[in-house]
Amino acid sequence: MTISLDRPVHTSTATSVSYRTLTPRQQDVFHRALEAAAEATNVWHIKDIHEFTAAALGLDLPHNDELVECSCEGCPDACDAIAPLSLCAEYLDGDTQRPQCPACADDHRVYID
Ligand SMILES: [Zn+2]
Ligand SMILES: [Zn+2]
């Protein structure tokens, strides 16, 4: 027997969101979630935390992806986008890998070697 479920249709799921546009509650959830993810030792817990957080922020996060905040340098508008890591460009700042959100990477990609 085949059971078919109608999947809910999401018409307005974004792939990134500006931190500034979040409600205080969502900003609080975002920070607490990232702290929880930083303390989690099990990689699946970390992925779950990111997935739940994305849902709370109304973001479409690919499975097994992570949310990151854009840390673009030389950004004209001090970008604070939260986006899936897999869609971000990354650049090396010293020894640290920093993500640059898709919009920034398109517009003014940072290359540091
Ligand atoms: Zn930028
Ligand atoms: Zn950005």
CA of 21 to the centre of ligand 2 (A): 14
Nearest ligand, measured from the Cα of 109: 1
In angstroms, what CA-CA distances link 91 with 40, 63, 82, 97?
25, 23, 16, 6
pLDDT, residue 12, reads 56
On average, the pLDDT of the chain sits at 89
DSSP 3-state helix, strand, coil percentages of the chain (rounded to 5)?
A: 40, 20, 45
pLDDT, residue 113, reads 60
CA of 60 to the centre of ligand 2 (A): 17
CA of 9 to the centre of ligand 1 (A): 32
Instruction: Break the chain into its structural domains and give their ranges.
Output: 17-108
Below-70 pLDDT ranges, the chain: 1-13, 113
CA of 76 to the centre of ligand 1 (A): 6
